[in-house]
């Protein structure tokens, strides 16, 4: 009944009966079926309030709104709420039988590392014998079965439906990314979290949040609303690591490579063969590479330990685990041992981290050749910064397209070029076609050089003028190694 679904929803007014059976929930009026409840959500580009009549025509018996329509129809129940996006979360939580209350859900937020941390957590806990769910940018999984992923975090209704599937499938733990968009748009409203992780925060998504301060505020708001029964783990080495937890009621913990913390580690060696570290006085070798992955591994170690797994068991499990697809994903050519690295780095800080790691892995004078672009219809402020970072830390840079979407790739590249100083101008060339750019990078490489293809990582497409064309950086890189005899 509708009245049961309104538990914990902040109501302003109800017109009509709440003793009405609800057969389905919808935020898309086109998907509404007979006996459904339509929740009119104000989105970034569209407002669900404009589609109330269409939802009723398709069979909606209840309408949830932030503002009552002028045309009130007999036989339809109208529920006015303070925030329809938040209401969607709580209504979905109640409709699907409160799945998050019956699962141990760990959420991870931060600019970089979200996908890697949740993926490692999922793989670790599966290896330890638990039934688990994964919700990530790359893919969603229910106990090994893959469900395609379209957003970092699904909408509130899809998310609760997915959590119900996980609960019904016998999952005990769920590891999920919580993006700033999802937090701001209330997609995770009503979800009960067992634990939360803050990895770091750097320049990103300013096309959406407009200012860095707003981006920080949104991330922090999630921690502010966590209950005292939850735990939260923050990166003490990030200058906003403590700020994020200032107002949370959750139990606070910190992890660090550089300062005093609840979970401490030190890098002894960082090579292509992996990381050699001391973690809480235990010496361990990990297959993953780079300081940024040392942080990711330490965050996972902290979560697993707080969930009650023995420290030695956690470290043994982590020592054999690979990272997420498209995150420092590398391949060595057969003839000249050229190292090709594919990474999702699409922010200045992420790109700097990857290039800094590559520099540390060099054992001689191998050239670093970087292929990089910036997405269209996204944060323009980071474009010159991406080019600046690439040129400063590479021997050769090829600027190219990366999901130009509805912008001209050439215009994006010109904005990137603005960040390149006079001295660095000899280092770069511009090749709009991404396949040609990768081919050129490989052709410029000599024995044991390093080719970094940044920005797309796990993505298997190029989005140009609203159309997604098949494109896989790693596959193309492999093809060019073969074609050019590398």
Give the largest Cα separation in the chain, rounded. Answer: 78
User: Taking residues 197-226, what's their average pLDDT?
Assistant: 76
Name the DSSP class of 338: P
What average pLDDT does range 107-123 have in this prediction?
A: 93
Topology agreement, domain 2-95 and domain 329-483: no
pLDDT of residue 204: 47
Helix, strand, coil percentages (3-state) for the chain, rounded to 5, are 35, 25, 40
Taken in order 121, 217, 403, 343, the sign of the CA dihedral is negative
In this predicted structure, what is the pLDDT of residue 326? Answer: 84
Partners of residue 175 on adjacent β-strands: 106, 134
More confident residue, 228 or 289: 228
Residue 283 has pLDDT above 50, yes or no: yes
Segment 160-167 mean pLDDT: 95
- Within 13 Å of residue 141, how many CA atoms lie on the same side as its CB? 20
Residue 196 has pLDDT above 60, yes or no: yes
Q: How far apart are the first and last CA of the chain?
A: 65
The whole-number average pLDDT for the span 477-484 is 96
Label residue 324 by pLDDT band (50, 70, 90). confident
Lowest-pLDDT range of 4-13, 195-204, 298-307: 195-204
pLDDT in tens, 367-400: 999 999 999 998 898 999 999 999 999 999 999 9
CA dihedral sign of residues 363, 364, 369, 372: positive
Q: What tokens appear for 431 in the block?
A: 């090749």
pLDDT digits (tens, 9 = 90+) for 66-95: 999 999 999 999 999 999 999 999 999 999
Structure-block tokens of residue 366? 């191998």
Give the separation between CA 410 and CA 433, rounded to whole angstroms: 10
CA distances from 322 to 235, 265, 438 (A): 22, 19, 25
Confidence of residue 478 (pLDDT cuts 50, 70, 90): very high
pLDDT tens profile 37-61: 999 998 777 899 999 999 999 999 9
Output the pLDDT for position 205: 44
Q: What distance in Å separates the CA atoms of residue 124 and residue 287, rounded to the nearest whole number? A: 14
224 or 207, which is more confident?
224
Q: What is the pLDDT of residue 186?
A: 87
CATH class, domain 2-95, is alpha beta
Q: What is the pLDDT of residue 216?
A: 84
pLDDT at position 228 is 96
> What's the confidence (pLDDT) of residue 211?
72
Taking the domain 99-318, which CATH number applies? 3.40.1190.10
pLDDT score at 241: 93
* Domain assignments of the chain as residue spans, ordered by start: 2-95, 99-318, 329-483
Task: Tell which wins on pLDDT, 120 or 208.
Answer: 120
Average confidence (pLDDT) over 435-464 = 95
The pLDDT assigned to 203 comes to 55
Which is nearest to 377 in space by CA: 471, 466, 472?
466
| Domain 329-483 in this protein, CATH class | alpha beta
What is the spatial distance between Cα 102 and Cα 169, in angstroms, rounded to a whole number?
12
Closest CA to 37 of 67, 64, 57, 11: 64
* Mean pLDDT calculated for residue range 456-461: 91
User: CB atoms < 10 A from the CB of 112, how many?
Assistant: 24
User: Given a cut of 90, is residue 152 above it in pLDDT?
Assistant: no
Entry field: residues in the chain: 486
pLDDT at position 322 = 80
Instruction: Look over the chain and give the mean of its residue pLDDT values, rounded to a whole number.
Output: 92
Which residue matches tokens 């330990």?
305
């Amino acid at each position: 009944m509708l009245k049961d679904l309104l538990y914990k929803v902040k109501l302003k007014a109800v017109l009509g009966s709440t003793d009405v059976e609800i057969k389905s929930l919808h935020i898309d009026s086109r998907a509404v079926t007979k006996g459904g409840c339509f929740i009119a959500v104000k989105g970034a580009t569209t407002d669900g309030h404009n589609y109330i009549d269409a939802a009723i025509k398709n069979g909606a018996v209840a309408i949830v709104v932030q503002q009552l329509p002028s045309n009130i129809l007999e036989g339809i129940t109208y529920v006015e709420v303070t925030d329809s996006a938040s209401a969607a979360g709580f209504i979905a939580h109640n409709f699907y039988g409160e799945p998050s209350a019956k699962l141990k859900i760990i959420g991870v937020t931060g600019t970089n590392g979200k996908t890697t941390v949740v993926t490692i957590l999922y793989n670790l806990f599966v290896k330890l014998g638990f039934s688990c769910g994964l919700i990530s940018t790359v893919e969603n999984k229910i106990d090994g079965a893959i469900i395609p992923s379209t957003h970092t975090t699904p909408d509130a209704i899809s998310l609760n439906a997915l959590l119900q599937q996980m609960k019904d499938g016998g999952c005990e733990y769920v590891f999920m990314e919580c993006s700033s968009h999802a937090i701001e748009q209330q997609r995770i409203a009503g979800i009960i979290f067992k634990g939360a992780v803050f990895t770091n925060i750097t320049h990103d998504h300013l096309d959406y949040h407009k200012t860095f301060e707003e981006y920080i505020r949104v991330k922090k708001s999630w921690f502010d609303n966590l209950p005292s029964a939850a735990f939260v783990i923050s990166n003490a080495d990030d200058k906003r690591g403590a700020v994020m937890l200032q107002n949370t009621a959750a139990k606070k913990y910190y992890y660090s490579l550089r300062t005093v913390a609840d979970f401490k580690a030190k890098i002894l060696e960082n090579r292509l063969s992996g990381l050699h570290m001391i973690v809480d006085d235990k010496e361990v070798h990990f297959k993953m590479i780079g300081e940024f992955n040392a942080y990711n591994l330490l965050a996972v170690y902290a979560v697993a330990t707080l969930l009650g797994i023995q420290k030695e068991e956690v470290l043994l499990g982590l020592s054999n685990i690979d990272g997420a697809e498209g995150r420092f994903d590398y391949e060595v050519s057969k003839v000249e041992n050229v190292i090709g690295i594919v990474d999702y780095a699409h922010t200045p800080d992420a790109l700097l981290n990857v290039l800094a790691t590559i520099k540390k892995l060099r054992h001689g004078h191998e050239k670093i050749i970087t292929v990089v672009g910036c997405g269209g219809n996204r944060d323009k402020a980071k474009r010159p910064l991406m080019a600046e970072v690439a040129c400063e830390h590479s021997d050769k840079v090829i600027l190219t397209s990366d999901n130009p979407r509805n912008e001209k790739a050439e215009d994006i590249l010109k904005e990137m070029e603005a960040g390149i100083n006079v001295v660095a101008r000899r280092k770069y060339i511009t090749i709009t076609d991404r396949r040609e750019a990768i081919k050129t990078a490989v052709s410029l490489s000599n024995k044991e050089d390093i080719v970094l293809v940044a920005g797309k990582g796990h993505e298997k497409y190029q989005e140009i003028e609203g159309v997604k064309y098949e494109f896989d950086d790693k596959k193309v890189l492999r093809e060019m190694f073969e074609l050019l005899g590398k």
